[in-house]
Structure 1
């Protein structure tokens, strides 16, 4: 199957990120032609000068448009792409040299009209970036839904590393107007239209999240807010597991209150869990600071997602 890849990247006020991403794309070992479309989503801090540096090394197209959000910007790029298979990347990723070769090989072996790949932490990342990556990808925290294992049911690609055929885009019209959860919404509409998705485990990207703990909380809160909306829109996709972060944080709060009544057993359970988090992160990252921060980021993730889920479920109409 002859696939021509069009890489679509929306960007908003992050020219430095685009430079790192474009540099990594120049180092691809993929031998076939591919194009890159950068969609500037109404930025004040333009990436245009960065783009000019890479015009000779990449088949690169740059578009500036009014600010309409990432989903609409991705659609804008796909509408203007010349390829027959689109790859959606976030601006804060760095692509390993074998990325496109792995995608092509996997699609040649088993073609699907959509795919997703995992994210990983590069050795150059800060301790906090590595800890956030651990919390977002560990089986102990997210159950592997972001690409750490295949046994997670039908895979739901995420927009930081997502592939979509031109046929699937034309059928679904791409991303909806949802501002949060738009990638999962797209996956559900793909399934409704008979398209298959797959996880390509080797097609990982280094996801260089430039987040503080406060920003990470805000991000996971948004993720939690989106899930009840998606459950209501697609009730057949709702799962009891989506409640786990909320139940987890409620359990912590109850366990803390129980201490004042002499019951330490409940909080001890959580202590054991976070000890496992520390040890697992230490084994993976071989760094005590990252392991400690992994406890902080995991707690932040659970509280962010759990509170967002509860607010969206019970307080928002």
Structure 2
């Protein structure tokens, strides 16, 4: 078994250096690294050159077309029996490839994926973002979890496919935004055996600031509507929960203002508002306690409240906006 690790890269020379450093420590050695520079203005060629002779690394440059097509470019040049796709902003545990090989020998997956986690070196906000993306109290709880909802769909920060899957599917059909979900659905619809390897986690930095995180999750929300335009049955009630949460938060804020302006004289409204406020406060407290206990840090717990609300509302705004554009107004906003 020989693995080809496919890594698209766009203006992240610092991150790719950290990722490659972790790959030098893999206990399973039969792999190559295929890096595709996707039209970067800050290329990482000099950084990658330092790993030649230490890793079997191959570096390619191409015009910018998006991460989906950059991965396809890497697939076309890879030699492995399995292709493993990584984002550039991850760190890989030393046992990762050994765990994958053992799982493939046991399960004979055609395609697979693994979860992500926060590394001890991450900043508090990075740990909080990791928590909110994997928490049972946000939509992140269905990602990379043994008890995930429905069929597991591998995500491109940590996924693998056999060469046969690549040959039959042709790889990614979308360049950006939910390209991995579309690819996963198509693999499953083609009859391939797709599964989760819970032990094959990576440390995923994700975004390092709230504006970057908001933008990323906003596009996730938009992408879910894009996927529904291609595969209508893949739009589940659970996908609309962040949109309902967003509407609820905005509605509660408006009702609080109205209640204040009316000096609480509208009794029914007054009790509705306070009921909503108590529910919201309970949710915030639950997030704070759960994150603080899980991460063993009150600071991360406090940040987790902020990142959880950012995640839910960013996804909700993207979902609602693209639903209006694509479903109601029939606009083509796909990437």
Fold shared per TM-score above 0.5: yes
Alignment of 1:58-97 (within 5 A): 58-97=55-94
Aligned to 2:24: 26
Q: Match of 1:144, SS?
A: helix
TM-score, normalised relative to structure 2: 0.91
Q: Deviations 1:135-192 (Å, cap 9, x if unpaired)?
A: 1111111262211333422101110001011100111111113420000000111111
Instruction: Check conservation: 2:37, 2:61, Cα contact below 8 A.
Output: yes
The answer (yes or no) to whether the contact 1:138–1:148 under 8 Å persists in 2 is no
Q: Distance in 2 between matches of 1:196 and 1:211?
A: 35
| Residue equivalent to 1:12 | 10
- Contact persistence 2:69–2:175 (CA under 8 A): no
State the alpha-carbon separation in 2 of the partners of residues 175 and 151 from structure 1. Answer: 24
Normalising by structure 1, we get a TM-score of 0.96
Aligned 8 A contact 1:35 1:60 in 2: yes
| Cα distance between partner residues in 2 of 1:152 and 1:116 | 15
Pairwise CA RMSD: 1.1
Provide the secondary structure at the position in 2 that maps to 1:139: coil
Q: Displaced runs of 4+ in structure 1, greater than 3 A?
A: none
| 2:102 is equivalent to residue 102 of structure 1 | no
Moved more, 160-169 or 136-145: 136-145
My pick for the range that moved more, 173-182 or 294-303, is: 173-182
Q: Secondary structure at the match of 1:6?
A: strand
Structure 1 unpaired stretches of 5+:
none
Instruction: Give the number of aligned pairs.
Output: 314
Q: Provide the rounded CA distance (Å) in 2 between the counterparts of 1:281 and 1:141.
A: 12
Structure-2 residue corresponding to 1:186: 183
**Matched residue of 2:141: which SS?**
coil
- What is residue 138 of structure 2 aligned with on the other side? 141
Distance 2:322 2:41 in 1: 32
Question: 2: CA distance between counterparts of 1:314 and 1:129?
Answer: 32
For residues 73 and 97 of structure 2, the distance between their equivalents in structure 1, rounded to whole angstroms, comes to: 22
1:10–1:40: 8 Å Cα contact kept in structure 2? yes
Structure 2 unmatched ranges of 5 or more: 260-269
Alignment match, 2:307: 297
